[in-house]
Structure formats: structure tokens, C-alpha cells
Amino acid sequence: MRIKVECSYNGSAFHGWARQVGERTVQGEIERALSTVLRSEIKIQVAGRTDAGVHAKAQIFHADLPYLEGRLADLSYLSNRVNCLLGKDVALKRAEPAPPGFDARFSALSRTYVYRISPSRSSRSLFLNGFVWDLNFNPDLDLLNSLAPNILGLKDFASFALPNPGGTTIREVKEARWEKAEGEIGSGTLKFTIKADAFARKMVRFLVGGQICVASGKKPASWFLEKFGSYRDFPPLAPAEGLTLEKVDYPEDGLLEARAAITRAVRKKDELGG
């Protein structure tokens, strides 16, 4: 039986999502707890791996479980049992039977991340400690929003992502914008929202780092824009603590398998045109 699970976590004390020997990771903790409750070795597949220190509001994974009987057949009860074995910085939020053809990673249409920054620690709520990048200046929001539209579209992000042997750095970005955060806790901060079909390694943090480098006056806007034309040295890497995976979107159930087939096909540079 395959289940679809939504989870959230504070990534501060984790060495990233992916299991690693001798390190505390989100995948490792969830697999350990599931395996203990079900008395069977359970492996999970995630929508998108996050780096050490990166958070998730609504991460999605799937797991193939053995036959469930008794109270464990109730997925709400199963989730509660698993949560009792997890630390306070990770939780299963919702579990349900996965529809036919569902794959947490390959069936996804898009992922949405939010990166939060603050001009200084004194300008924002202390409830955001560990969830924002504290700067020592107030970046120009209009300048940032003049840079963000250049990120949109199908592009090769080789200048903004670590290489992935056998993979590609070509991604399609569907949304990219800066805005002032609203609400009592978010007051005094800015947030960068970016939505793409998928993300290459450290891509969001390099994009944020590059834009803030321009906003600080250390580099001209042309320096950032030229990075999309050909490979250039990486910009500064924004700290992990400001980044949160907010949402993963999927197509309607009947299109899940077809979407997975499209995602598995590695993109080529000739798709970029021009």
C-alpha cells in the first residue's frame, strides 16, 4: 500500500533531508519512526530534498507500506503513533492513500519556496529566530523586483546551482517576486517567493545571494543578469536558515503517471531555443 504524507520540520538541527550515516536527518528520523511502529523496514521518497538548515512547511513524501491491520489501518492513528517517536522539530501532518500512479518526486508539477530576510534582528519578531537572514542594511524592494523577473522562464541555472552528475541545471521558473511580509510575526521582514517545476542544488540560495549582492551595492545589476547568458562563477550563497519549502503542487489524479514520465526525461540545452 502506497501512502502520500505531508510533513513539516524545523531544519535547524537536521543535516538536511537525505539519510546519512552518523548524521541526524529528516528522512532518517521519519524512516526510523515508521519502521519502529510497523515493525518492518520502511523507506520513503520525497518531493524535493532540502539542505542542512532548510525548513519545510508542507513537504510531501510517499511510502510503500506492508499490509496494515487493526488500529494501524487508520492512517491518522498511524501518523500520531509515528509523531510520538519523532522529535519536536518534525511532524507528520496528514497521511492518505496515494492515488494510482503517484510518485512524490516525479509526479510533482511544482515546488514553492519562500526566502525571508530582515534588515536587522531588532527590526523583526524574535519568533522568527532561525527562519530569516539578518542583514545589516535595508535592501531596496523596487530594485529587487527589477531583478526577479529575469529569473522567470525555462533557463539553464548553471551559474546558480551546484552541478549534478548525470542531471541538468535547466529549470522552468513560474513565479519569482519580492514583497513585504504581512502579519504581526512577519512585520519588518521581506520575503522572496519562487515557484518552479523543480530546483537544482542550492539554486534558491544562490539566486537570493546574487540579488542581495546587487542590492547591497557590491555588484551592478548587469553582473546578475549576465549570469543567465553563460556559465559564470557562483554568486554568494544565502544562509540556509532563511529558506522554507512552502508547498508542492500535483496534477489531478488521472495525470499523475503521465507527469512522472515527463519529469523523468532529462532536459537538454536545445530546449532553451535561441
Question: Catalytic residues, which ones?
Answer: 51
DSSP state of 189: -
Residues β-bridged to residue 195:
112, 175
- Evaluate whether 14 touches 112 at the Cβ level (below 8 Å): no
- CA separation for the pair 180, 20 (Å, rounded): 37
Q: What is the 3-state secondary structure (H, E, C) of 197-265?
A: CCCCECHHHHHHHHHHHHHCCCCCHHHHHHCCCCCCCCCCCCCHHHEEEEEEECCCHHHHHHHHHHHHC
Chain centroid to CA 190:
18
Residue by residue, DSSP assigns 5-20 as EEEEE-GGGSS-SS--
CA atoms within 13 A on the CB side of 68: 19
Main-chain dihedrals φ then ψ at residue 73, nearest 5 degrees: -70, -20
Cell digits of residue 149 = 523577473
